[in-house]
Structure 1
């Protein structure tokens, strides 16, 4: 019997496969970072004026823009009161002034005659009364009194036309043509639109990052909505107190021409709830990392042996989806951007940019 021996070919030795997890890294870059402080507040007028009539009389006309929602410019006439009585008072005051001035001239002439005559009589007989000094003082007083009455009459006449004291938004009008108004009666309400204010709160953790000098610092006011737009403002002041309920301080930003009366800009209406951004201090040699890379104040880095190492960091500020870190990592540290599912200290990893993908082999069929 023949025995046939068969032997198969030996399997080639399998290549060693590296199963270390692959991670993506980025190098930490230190920077000087300008802090942006964000808050929110309501747009309010710098001042509100309750208009009152300075004279009594019948309303003979009013400005068509003197209605709720109307915009009027500084010096524009809002309404007028009938002037006949006040014009007559001015004429009468002018006549009284002329009479007083004439009386003064007459007394001065008499005094001049008395002065010449006094040279011919004994000095003991010459008195102030003889020289008509009291009469002249009385005549001068009468002139001043007449000038004052004329001034008051002219003021009342001028007050028959009520003008806007500033560029204004009309909130309310309480009079109509033919209506009789009394002196001091409220006739309308207007808001100053030359300047608006936004008061916003600053939390305690933001206070440390405010500029050293707040006054006159620029602020960006953003009105978000269907048509989002922004306006530049200026920090005018710190209210100077801490709110007892929120423990926050308040800062005021002013915006010029909020309704765009003098420029082609969208109206920043009173009552709008807006976002306010101001530039704070510059933080030197800090790192800005996405929040999802920081867990319990720990960041993972890859050391020179391609091993994972946890680094405890100090977060000094949160801005949006980022943390600002000032210690715990160093310039050019390799920060792990994609962690393995269960990271461990000293775990061997491969760097994604250094991993060579196997070449693609096309399937061959006979």
Structure 2
């Protein structure tokens, strides 16, 4: 039987050997890491970081002519639904009555059957001739009676003896016959429907062969030479205008900024719009310099009175919150909330802050600006 006692000390010695080797390897790795680790040199200094550069513009207070702008719709002065004034069958629909056509004033549109109205005119002419004949007879009777009394040397007892009531009735009959003839002639003329003003036919509502009655719609006609604009202004903007506004001229601009001519202020003020609580300005446009379209949305620029002690700045200097940042003589930021008087041409005009100026205004304010922050002002280019 073999003896196994010596194997236990041998196994225990090997374990201690591996443990010693592991500790030695770990120590070597730690030393290697300390030797190869990068180091950063940190230099302490007491100097503050440089102030950020801020682009500024220098402005001084001065007078400015107010310009009040408002957006409004351009509407035709005349926009009428033409209706038939007579009854009858439509015999012809002329080219000027088709939808989209431009009809000058007096252009034929519809022809309505006129036989009954020609008969009415002839009957009215006959009635007029009969009334005139009766008038001549009445005048002759009056003349004979007057001569008879003059020959006898007597005075007529009353008007009836001179046939004067019959004369007055005959005169009234002639006047009534003339009025009936004018009515019949007007009805006959209304059988030929013409454009009452120059414009575009936006809708045709009657067709060839259709029988219409008086008052039935025929077409929709919109003026193309005379336009009207109704603009709304706040009461603050109204106070900036030169009074009275009636008769003054306003500039018209397309939405892209293209000038479209002028409009004359027909009337303005006097009452507030019940919905918007704004003052209303009524303008008229006759023969515009540029082609304008009814229904377009235009900008109306109204020249106002001259204001003193104002600053005119680019719109970009005003933040979304309505603030403007100034740089004082020590290079510190100051935030103010100005009173914007009006906007025009990409600029804003504000009431000048207290002081004599000039002021340095941040051209492009940043969201990181803080009151009292030190900056380095740089004049803005352009």
**TM-score computed with the length of structure 2 as normaliser:** 0.70
SS of the aligned residue for 2:160 comes to coil
CA contact under 8 A between 1:314 and 1:327: conserved in structure 2?
no
Cα distance in structure 2, aligned partners of 1:350 and 1:40: 38
| Among 286, 304, 308, the residue aligned to 2:310 | 286
CA contact under 8 A between 1:315 and 1:323: conserved in structure 2?
no
Residue 230 of structure 2 aligns with which residue? 199
Residue 328 of structure 1 aligns with which residue? 354
Unaligned stretches of 5+ residues in structure 1? 1-16, 354-366
**1:300 and 2:327 are equivalent in the alignment:** yes
**1:48 and 2:79 are equivalent in the alignment:** yes
SS of the aligned residue for 2:352 comes to strand
Between 1:314-323 and 1:162-171, the stretch displaced more is 314-323
CA contact under 8 A between 1:291 and 1:323: conserved in structure 2?
no
CA contact under 8 A between 2:265 and 2:281: conserved in structure 1?
yes
CA contact under 8 A between 1:308 and 1:344: conserved in structure 2?
no
CA contact under 8 A between 2:98 and 2:201: conserved in structure 1?
yes
1:192-219, CA deviations, whole angstroms, 9 ceiling, x for partnerless residues?
3332223333235433323332222222
Residue 273 of structure 1 aligns with which residue? 297
Cα distance in structure 1, aligned partners of 2:267 and 2:160: 64
CA contact under 8 A between 1:53 and 1:182: conserved in structure 2?
yes
Cα distance in structure 2, aligned partners of 1:172 and 1:253: 27
**Rg (Cα) greater in structure:** 2
**1:237 and 2:267 are equivalent in the alignment:** yes
Cα distance in structure 2, aligned partners of 1:112 and 1:352: 105
Cα distance in structure 1, aligned partners of 2:156 and 2:281: 78
Cα distance in structure 1, aligned partners of 2:136 and 2:369: 110
| Among 124, 128, 131, the residue aligned to 1:93 | 124
- After superposition, the Cα gap between the structure-2 partners of 1:308 and 1:63, relative to the gap in structure 1 and judged at 3 Å, is same
Residue 4 of structure 1 aligns with which residue? none
Residue 195 of structure 2 aligns with which residue? 164
Q: CA deviation at 1:83?
A: 2.7
Cα distance in structure 2, aligned partners of 1:47 and 1:113: 59
Q: CA deviation at 1:53?
A: 1.6
1:240-262, CA deviations, whole angstroms, 9 ceiling, x for partnerless residues?
4434554433333322246xxxx
CA contact under 8 A between 1:289 and 1:323: conserved in structure 2?
yes
**1:173 and 2:199 are equivalent in the alignment:** no
SS of the aligned residue for 2:66 comes to strand
- After superposition, the Cα gap between the structure-2 partners of 1:239 and 1:336, relative to the gap in structure 1 and judged at 3 Å, is closer
CA contact under 8 A between 2:334 and 2:371: conserved in structure 1?
no
Between 1:237-246 and 1:344-353, the stretch displaced more is 344-353
- After superposition, the Cα gap between the structure-2 partners of 1:86 and 1:32, relative to the gap in structure 1 and judged at 3 Å, is same
- After superposition, the Cα gap between the structure-2 partners of 1:70 and 1:240, relative to the gap in structure 1 and judged at 3 Å, is farther
CA contact under 8 A between 1:311 and 1:329: conserved in structure 2?
no
- After superposition, the Cα gap between the structure-2 partners of 1:128 and 1:350, relative to the gap in structure 1 and judged at 3 Å, is closer
**TM-score computed with the length of structure 1 as normaliser:** 0.73
Residue 190 of structure 1 aligns with which residue? 221
CA contact under 8 A between 1:313 and 1:325: conserved in structure 2?
no
Cα distance in structure 2, aligned partners of 1:247 and 1:131: 72
1:246-282, CA deviations, whole angstroms, 9 ceiling, x for partnerless residues?
4433333322246xxxx7x32x222222222222232
Cα distance in structure 2, aligned partners of 1:118 and 1:338: 108
Paired residues in the alignment total 326
**1:30 and 2:54 are equivalent in the alignment:** no
What is the aligned-residue RMSD (CA, Å)?
3.7
Cα distance in structure 2, aligned partners of 1:212 and 1:120: 77
Cα distance in structure 2, aligned partners of 1:132 and 1:288: 89
Cα distance in structure 1, aligned partners of 2:378 and 2:151: 126
Cα distance in structure 1, aligned partners of 2:223 and 2:55: 58
Unaligned stretches of 5+ residues in structure 2? 1-46
Residue 107 of structure 1 aligns with which residue? 138
- After superposition, the Cα gap between the structure-2 partners of 1:342 and 1:235, relative to the gap in structure 1 and judged at 3 Å, is closer
